Amino acid sequence: MTKFLKGNDLNAELEKIFESAEYSIILISPYIKLHDRYKASLLTKLENHNIEITVLFGKNEDDMSKSMKQEDFDFFKQFPNIEILYEKRLHAKYYASESKAILTSMNLYGFSQNNNIEAGVLMEKKFNRNNNLDDNSWEYFATVLQQAELLFEKRPVYEKKNILSSKKYIKSEVEIDKLSDFFNNKSYNKVFKKNTRKKENEQSNNTKNEIGYCIRTGKEIAFNVEKPMQYEAFKMWNKYKNSDFPEKYCHFSGELSNGKTSVNKPILNKNWKKAKEKFDI
């Protein structure tokens, strides 16, 4: 069975797909910024490890955060059985459960749902009759998902019992996570670039030169006690995030610190007074 949808009917049917799902939820949209009403519908499945959620987004190859924000990634990653994929060529929009699907013009994006003229086709599986449209769309999007890049995967872990007993859910474990690194590095890179521009502006205006040194490499960077590493060094540090790990150089003077500096303490004690006076910290 197929049904044409527009306006509020389109939004309402999409919510019903989330709320009625028992085994599978598929969200395919180039842009994702979840409306609160959809978050509320999806949260009804938060404790259900039997429902597999698949999210595919796309576009903006150079900056994926323009297609999906970190707040939405943080929302999705709390679910116990989920995968998030990326396809740079994606333009189609498709939302489905094991029994219903919507093929539509509407992105899973709050602005689209509130402001744009959108329409879609609802397809429902009837097990006593054929529905070629639904079958063809599912086969097509299954192929798209197989070819997409897997960026995040979290799966349930079950306690092994004997063959006659049911399995027991213990917890969920993250098996793949490329998105956390992307958002962490992006956040640091913004600060890094901002400080670099600040240093260049100050140099061009012949103001005092706020130069510091990377506590891991000793290279010149903008002075910032909260970000005392150059970007590449930060990426290595960020794998373990040990703020007390001994580093090699003093952020203020650039001299060897013999392990007496760290992210928490980037300036040698003997240089702290001078740094406070020069940089007003």
Instruction: List Cβ<8 Å contacts ≥24 apart for 182-186.
Output: 182/64, 182/65, 182/151, 183/65, 183/70, 183/73, 184/238, 185/231, 185/234, 185/235, 185/238, 186/63, 186/65
Residue 4 is predicted with a pLDDT of 95
Question: What radius of gyration do the chain's Cα atoms show?
Answer: 25
Contacts of 72 (CB under 8 A, 6+ apart): 32, 33, 34
**189 or 52, greater pLDDT:** 52
Distance CA 91, CA 30 (A): 6
How large is the average pLDDT for residues 48-59?
95
145-156: pLDDT as tens digits = 999 999 999 999
Instruction: Supply the pLDDT for residue 135.
Output: 77
pTM for this structure? 0.65
Counting every residue written for the chain, the total comes to: 281
Q: Where are the domains of the chain?
A: 2-177, 183-279
Q: For the domain 2-177, what is the CATH superfamily, name and number? A: Endonuclease Chain A (3.30.870.10)
Question: What is the percent of the chain with per-residue pLDDT over 70, rounded to a whole number?
Answer: 86
In the prediction, which pLDDT does 131 show? 56
- The pLDDT tens digits for 156-186 are 999 876 666 678 899 999 999 999 888 877 6
Of the listed ranges 195-199, 212-216, 264-268, the least confidently predicted one is 195-199
Rounded CA separation 223/211 (Å): 5
Structure confidence at residue 133 (pLDDT): 59
